[in-house]
Amino acid sequence: MNKSNLSNITVLFGGTGDLAKRKIFPALYHLQKGGDLPQGFALVAVGRRQKNHQQYREYIYSFMEKEADFTIDKEAWEALSQRIYYLPFHFDDPAGYERLKEFLAVLENIYQTQGNRIYYLAVAPEYFGLIVQQLKVHDMDRKENSWRRVVIEKPFGKDLNSARKLNQIITEVFEEKNIYRIDHYLGKEMLQNIMVIRFTNAFFEPIWNSQYIDNIQISSSEQLGVGTRGEYYDQSGALRDMIQNHMMQLLTLTAMEPPIRLDNQSIRDEKIRVLRSLEELSQKTVFENIVRGQYSAGRIDGKPVKGYREEEGVNPASTTETFVAMKMAVENYRWVGVPFYIRTGKRMPVKSTEIVVEFKRPPEVLYFKEYKNLQPNLLVIGIQPKEGAFLRFNAKKPGTIKEIIPVEMDYCQNCQVEQNSPEAYERLIYDVMRGESTLFTRWDEVEYSWKIVDNIERAWRRKAEEILLYPAGERGPQGAMELLQRDNRKWWNILGG
């Protein structure tokens, strides 16, 4: 691609926040180091702290030098830092937007960006609508023969109604094609690889259906607790924080039909068809098929950690869930009868995200009749921290004794340093610059996933049940194990140990 088409000024609202320091600037640094940033590029950070351009550059560098897990190439940083600017003002200050407008006009002459802009809202959700409306009021939302794009971080609303109101505000200013709703999971390399594994291998796609697959498990676990996010998380919980976005994206990519083309519209169309096909849970099935838990005091890596209700900002009597396990059904021809088991939780033994496809066992004749406890075939796709895929199958153990054991064919994508895949934000920011929206969430995906979550929330409100506690460092409450045991199945903990 001609990099001149990527030329733009990125306006980063929330320039002194954690997201900017921990994710966005490291991603821009790697793009600079890799030669992927266009010559016509500059960034204007907006924040409330009083700093000048040089103080802000030093502030970002100091943080990255201390916190980054890579050694900073000073030449690459210097080349990037000279294109970073800072403008202090409060997001509700109209005069600040006027100063921003004037400053952007000056920079566009210097960097020859043809008026292209990215507005990146790395701010709390309550500011999304305010900032977008101010951009329109001050005539910064569009320009003829230029593109203007807005990037919005999750959470996109706190329920269906708030998401719809927010979407209405934003779409009154920006067209849907210029709205980029970030779910950083979609930037992970192996997530993008799911479709490649399925659709480019003749031995997978023909058996990717209910005739050959027994069940699919999607698990995402975190060792960390809520940290400093206690007040926010207590209003959200695992259902809204993880299921509504990350886990639904993993589900749609695993269950979708082959798209007619590899363009963003076709791929997103197939994802939305999966969401439309999900079984609607009744009040009864919510309590039969969903388990919610909350971590209590326990130990992680041998060190004691406090329970959720003792975390800063959390109500001492909170019933907010930090763990969810659920059984879902995709009601279409391909997946009839195949349960999708989903679980996510905080304060788990390890950090991992993986998809496990468990294939059906052959008829119990021959080896299955003679040898007991033969393991089913598994395809495991690792999203993090180990990226890759492996296939587990049965083979004879070497030696004179007749014994069958499970063996593995393993592909690890990031086991060697030189093969490390790019950070999710690196890929996603570059995609915004080039106008590629495949890895971003379309409005109807957001809407359907909120419908599912709201339905579950309503059932929980109608019939309050005591939340199940699990000690930090364990894999969730016993009810999550029983969810599969009653179907004569079990959770697989493969890449997560």
Active site residues: 246
Is 479 annotated to bind a ligand? Reply is: no
Is 189 annotated to bind a ligand? Reply is: no
**Cα–Cα distance measured from residue 384 to residue 189, given in angstroms and rounded to the nearest whole number:** 10
Is 35 annotated to bind a ligand? Reply is: no
Residue burial 362-394, b: 16+ Cβ < 10 Å; e: rest = eeeeeeeeeeeebebbbbbbbbbebbbbbbbeb
Is 14 annotated to bind a ligand? Reply is: yes
Is 21 annotated to bind a ligand? Reply is: yes
Is 17 annotated to bind a ligand? Reply is: yes
Is 18 annotated to bind a ligand? Reply is: yes
Is 20 annotated to bind a ligand? Reply is: yes
Is 15 annotated to bind a ligand? Reply is: yes
Is 43 annotated to bind a ligand? Reply is: no
Is 19 annotated to bind a ligand? Reply is: yes
End-to-end CA distance of the chain: 42
Is 67 annotated to bind a ligand? Reply is: no
Is 90 annotated to bind a ligand? Reply is: no
Is 458 annotated to bind a ligand? Reply is: no
Q: Cα-flanking dihedrals φ and ψ of residue 149, to 5°?
A: -125, 145
**Cα–Cα distance measured from residue 216 to residue 253, given in angstroms and rounded to the nearest whole number:** 12
Is 372 annotated to bind a ligand? Reply is: no
**CA–CA distance from 266 to each of 190, 256, 272, 415, 440 (Å)?**
20, 11, 10, 33, 13
Which amino acid, 362?
P
Is 241 annotated to bind a ligand? Reply is: yes
**Cα–Cα distance measured from residue 291 to residue 363, given in angstroms and rounded to the nearest whole number:** 33
What dihedral do alpha carbons 231, 237, 240, 246 form, nearest 10°? Answer: 100
Ramachandran sector of residue 227 (left: φ over 0; alpha: ψ -120 to 50; beta: rest): left
Q: Which residues define the annotated binding site for substrate?
A: 184, 188, 222, 241, 346, 351
Q: Which residues define the annotated binding site?
A: 14-21, 48, 154, 184, 188, 222, 241, 346, 351
Q: Which residues define the annotated binding site for NADP(+)?
A: 14-21, 48, 154
